[in-house]
Amino acid sequence: SQQGEEDPQALSIQEGENATMNCSYKTSINNLQWYRQNSGRGLVHLILIRSNEREKHSGRLRVTLDTSKKSSSLLITASRAADTASYFCATYGMRFGAGTRLTVKP
Amino acid sequence: EAQVTQNPRYLITVTGKKLTVTCSQNMNHEYMSWYRQDPGLGLRQIYYSMNVEVTDKGDVPEGYKVSRKEKRNFPLILESPSPNQTSLYFCASSFSRTLNEKLFFGSGTQLSVL
């Protein structure tokens, strides 16, 4: 079964707006990872947050982790058209959900 | 350059004709894995390997075989492909699955089985 479930399935915003997507999982984790996939290409690792961390930043990306709720969120600030992609979370066992499809309109 | 190399990028075949998709990594990673991606279903794990000669089933292993005779290579074998195996396939590797280290992905293989 899938370990990470992303929400929403699809998100459409205007350039410059912030985009937030969420991930819920079921089992205990030692870390949670977020990946991006441009259409039909291999996934690219974005950021890893460990179970003892609550928040992590990387450029325009901000990830939070709430282990009590078994959930994580990925925030992309000041989005650009180039951020248009699918975003996936992965937890223990390197399993992925169906992803969030983000469209950023110029 | 650190990379995971998959071949071929595109493959069209017919039902029942055995095929192999190759995967090679140059990072000395212990862990390698195969996924298939279908619309609306995300990535589903087919098989994975924790190290040389150690392989295990993922969530959707039926109809597939793998081998790990060398650390760098992890081929995916379809002995008798069927149309429901038409999909986009990805190979990935990481230093360690136990530590849940980040995955490096290949560029993908788009397979069509007629």
What's the pLDDT score for residue A29? 85
What's the pLDDT score for residue A3? 65
Question: Residues of A8-31 as b/e, b for ≥16 C-beta within 10 angstroms?
Answer: eeebebeeeeebebebbbeeebeb
Is the confidence at residue A1, as pLDDT, over 60?
no
Note the pLDDT tens digit of each residue in B54-90: 999 999 999 999 999 999 999 999 999 999 999 999 9
**Distance from C-alpha of B99 to C-alpha of B103, rounded to nearest angstrom:** 11
Angle at A58 between CA A54 and CA A63, to 5 degrees: 35
- Residue A83 CA to its chain's centroid (Å): 12
In 3D, which of B92, B9, B80, B8 has the Cα closest to residue B43?
Answer: B92
- Closest Cβ–Cβ partner in B45, B48, B102 for A48: B102
For residue B85, which phi and psi values (nearest 5 degrees)?
Answer: -95, 5
Nearest chain B residue to A100 by CA distance is B42
Q: Which residues of B touch A98 (CB under 8 A)?
A: 40-42
Q: Using CA of residue A99, residue A103, residue B2, residue B8, what is the dihedral sign?
A: positive
In 3D, which of B2, B18, B21 has the Cα closest to residue B10?
Answer: B21
pLDDT-based confidence at residue B41 (cuts at 50, 70, 90): confident
Is the confidence at residue A14, as pLDDT, over 90?
yes
